[in-house]
């Protein structure tokens, strides 16, 4: 009997989004109110339910055991607190099955009502409502490890819908669909996901920490926590120190626009460099190298010239030996070279370069970390040597390639004409007129042996 109850409870849990009901039977039973005792006389009796509630589903909706209620955070409530008007007596007369949760959970209800889930619930009808995530009779506190909204369980909860390509295909299109797919597949491998799944770090960010629990809105909504403008604030809930530094940097919203920055690039926010769902540890070497590309997607010229230096070349070869953007410009406190607080401000360069180049002095830092020899007016010191060397390279090679090609052609002509070696015989005699006119010995043999 007990195992049957347990099985049915499990069914109920599956349908209502409840986990961990199993332990209900193991828990010591607190004193139940008389009303609960009364209601469960019928609602915990499966046979009675199916016999009387004709047409009613024979599933969990009406089947509620005292044990499930005991395990709930609502265990002190009366049945009629939610099922108002369902007094004693059968058949029940109430028309409203359940009062809105927002009757008590006012703010959560209001937030949900404004969310994309609520909008979809109205239009399509299959978006999650309160019980979809929290469960119904067995609702547990968020701090309860058995709750579906316990931090370590949230990602699994959300992925019940968001992990299904067919479901998200109904609500997301284009790049948003791609990102939604990435969210489901890549998040568990991200630094946040690993912290949750591998280390059980409950303070690590999970879906609801960034997207909110109730007021979930798409990124294009200005009120969304994942709207670009709100990203630093969202990440800053945990990464408060980083965001404080970032806000003061050239990428921060208040920093004056710098000359030479390409138009059409919005200032980056956290996710532009770190991504939203594929965030990896910032000390991972491969990721550090990959950030160079991210910087370069806006700072195009600095990106190109970087790769003409030893720094860039070594980085491109997959080594972290040499400086990358953030090694000189910092990861979050990047500022204009004219800003005295900048690590690349003239007065701070000795310190910055000394991080790697021990003993760097004021002379040393006159190196052009982004010098471009093709810019004659800006880098005349580089332009002329570059022009000279390129000219030397091209002219020497052009001359000698011509020399070799002509030589080869003449060899061919002589060979066809003379029938032996491409060289005329030694001794300086004229060789145009035919073979074998030279006085010196050995040539015919040598020529013959060559061909």
Binding site for other proteins (CB under 8 A): 307-310, 312-314, 316-319, 321-322, 357-361, 363-368, 371, 373, 379, 381-382, 385-386, 389-390, 392-393, 396-397, 400-401, 403-404, 406-411, 413, 415, 421-424, 426-432, 440-443, 445-446, 449-451
Complex with other proteins: residue 121 or 350, whichever CB lies closer: 350
Shortest spacing between CB 349 and other proteins, in angstroms: 9
Shortest spacing between CB 13 and other proteins, in angstroms: 52
Residue 335 sits at φ, ψ, to 5 deg, of -140, 165
Complex with other proteins: residue 10 or 322, whichever CB lies closer: 322
Complex with other proteins: residue 94 or 392, whichever CB lies closer: 392
Interacting residues of 421 by C-beta distance below 8 A, sequence separation 6+: 414, 415, 443, 444, 446, 447, 448, 450, 451
Shortest spacing between CB 303 and other proteins, in angstroms: 12
Shortest spacing between CB 308 and other proteins, in angstroms: 8
Complex with other proteins: residue 104 or 362, whichever CB lies closer: 362
Shortest spacing between CB 340 and other proteins, in angstroms: 21
Complex with other proteins: residue 138 or 421, whichever CB lies closer: 421
Complex with other proteins: residue 210 or 353, whichever CB lies closer: 353
Q: Is 435 exposed, middle or buried (0-12, 13-18, 19+ CB in 10 A)?
A: middle
Q: How far apart, in Å, are the Cα atoms of 381 and each of 128, 377, 387?
A: 66, 9, 11
CA pair distance 220, 264, nearest whole angstrom: 18
Residue appearing with tokens 């030694």: 426
Complex with other proteins: residue 57 or 376, whichever CB lies closer: 376
Choose among 127, 147, 15: nearest CA to 74: 147
The answer to whether 227 touches 265, Cβ cutoff 8 Å, is no
Shortest spacing between CB 307 and other proteins, in angstroms: 7
The answer to whether 136 touches 67, Cβ cutoff 8 Å, is no
Coil, helix or strand at residue 362: coil
Q: How far apart, in Å, are the Cα atoms of 191 and each of 205, 240, 262?
A: 9, 17, 32
Shortest spacing between CB 139 and other proteins, in angstroms: 55
């Amino acid at each position: 009997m007990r195992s049957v109850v347990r099985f049915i409870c499990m069914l109920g849990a599956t349908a209502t989004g409840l986990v961990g009901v199993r332990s209900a039977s193991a828990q010591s039973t607190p004193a139940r109110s008389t009303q609960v005792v009364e209601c469960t006389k019928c609602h915990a009796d499966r046979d009675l339910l199916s016999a009387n509630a004709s047409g009613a589903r024979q599933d969990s909706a009406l089947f509620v055991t005292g044990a499930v209620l005991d395990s709930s955070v609502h265990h002190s409530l009366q049945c009629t607190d939610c099922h108002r008007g369902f007094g004693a007596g059968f058949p029940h007369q109430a028309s409203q099955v359940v009062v809105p949760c927002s009757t008590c959970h006012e703010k959560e209800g209001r937030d949900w009502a404004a969310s994309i889930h609520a909008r979809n619930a109205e239009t399509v009808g299959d978006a999650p409502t309160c019980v979809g995530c929290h469960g119904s009779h067995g609702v547990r506190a968020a701090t309860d490890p058995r709750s579906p909204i316990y931090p370590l369980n949230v990602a699994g909860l959300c992925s019940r819908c968001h992990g299904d390509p067919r479901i998200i295909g109904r609500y997301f299109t284009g790049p948003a669909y791609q990102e939604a797919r990435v969210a489901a597949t890549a998040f568990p491998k991200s630094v946040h996901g690993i912290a949750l799944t591998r280390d059980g770090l409950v303070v690590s960010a999970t879906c609801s920490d960034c997207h909110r629990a109730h007021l979930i809105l798409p990124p294009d909504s200005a009120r969304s926590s994942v709207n670009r403008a709100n990203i630093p604030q969202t990440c800053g809930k945990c990464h408060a120190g980083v965001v404080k530094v970032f806000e003061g940097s050239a990428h921060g919203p208040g920093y004056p626009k710098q000359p030479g920055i390409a138009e059409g690039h919005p200032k980056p926010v956290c996710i532009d460099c770190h991504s939203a769902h594929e965030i990896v540890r910032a000390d991972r070497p491969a990721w550090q190298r990959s950030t160079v590309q991210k910087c370069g997607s806006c700072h195009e010229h600095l990106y190109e010239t970087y790769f003409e230096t030893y720094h860039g070349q070594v980085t491109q070869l997959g080594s972290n030996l040499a400086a990358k953007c953030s090694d000189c410009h910092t990861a979050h406190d990047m500022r204009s070279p004219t800003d005295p607080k900048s690590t690349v401000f003239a007065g701070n360069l000795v310190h910055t370069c000394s991080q790697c180049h021990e003993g760097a002095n004021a002379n040393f830092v006159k190196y052009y970390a982004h010098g471009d020899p093709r810019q004659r007016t800006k880098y005349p010191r580089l332009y002329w040597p570059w022009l000279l060397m390129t000219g030397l390279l091209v002219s020497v090679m052009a001359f000698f390639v011509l020399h070799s090609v002509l030589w080869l052609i003449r060899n061919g002509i002589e060979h066809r004409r003379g029938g032996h070696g491409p060289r005329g015989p030694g001794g300086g005699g004229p060789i145009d007129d035919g073979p074998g006119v030279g006085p010196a010995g050995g040539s015919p043999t040598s020529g013959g042996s060559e061909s």
